[in-house]
Amino acid sequence: MERLKKEGLEWGKAIVIGFVIFIVIRMFLFTNYVVQGESMEPTLVQGNKLVVNKISYTFGDIERFDVIVFHANDEEDYVKRVIGLPGDKIEYRKDKLYINDRYYEEYFLEDKKTMRNVTGSFSLKDIANVEKIPDGYLFVLGDNRMRSEDSRHFGLVPIDEVVGKVNLRYWPLNQWEFTFKN
């Protein structure tokens, strides 16, 4: 009887420790996110389940074309692609991206190339009334430009609203992917 009691106590400790570790990981390191809507198609689609790395930007910088999750408002988080970083001058000319007057290929829009006016033509001055992205802000767009509410609509995103970088799509199982940058 004493042996069973001792073994039960050990199992109880292991369960409590496991639960505490799970909570710490969930609160500070990683979280999950379920894609809502079609703004990131075809890269991410409605119902995809993602792992968001909350500490990636603690030790590294946000990079151009990272897919991130950020707090859009008090109730919602959005998933979008980083197009512009602090100090960047962003301009689209006939669907072509120019950052600091240098053309950038948007490989993730491959299936949209046959369509015209996917992104359109605009500059930061047109949408945010600034020449360059100020420190502490990002310019983000969805990959499905025709159906995305993004920086063209709500302006620049404060970096302190970024939850983290999307590191993994784990659902559906046949679409596991670890990178969305290239």
pLDDT in tens, the chain (182 residues): 777 777 777 777 777 776 666 565 555 556 777 788 888 888 888 999 888 887 776 666 889 999 999 998 888 899 999 999 999 999 999 889 999 999 998 887 766 555 555 788 899 988 888 999 999 999 999 988 888 899 999 999 999 999 888 888 877 767 766 666 64
d(CA 159, CA 173): 31
**Annotated catalytic residue: which of 54, 56, 80, 151?**
80
pLDDT at 155: 92
Q: Which domains does the chain have, with CATH numbers?
A: 31-175 (2.10.109.10)
On whether the CB atoms of residues 83 and 140 are closer than 8 A, the answer is yes
Q: Which H or E run includes 17?
A: helix 2-24
**One of 39, 56, 148, 151 is an active-site residue; which one?**
39
- Indicate if 80 belongs to the active site: yes
What is this structure's pTM?
0.80
Is 151 designated active site? Answer: no
Instruction: Identify the burial level of 174 via C-beta atoms within 10 angstroms of its C-beta, where 0-12 means exposed, 13-18 middle and 19 or more buried.
Output: exposed
- Per-residue DSSP letter, 4: H
pLDDT the model gives residue 182: 46
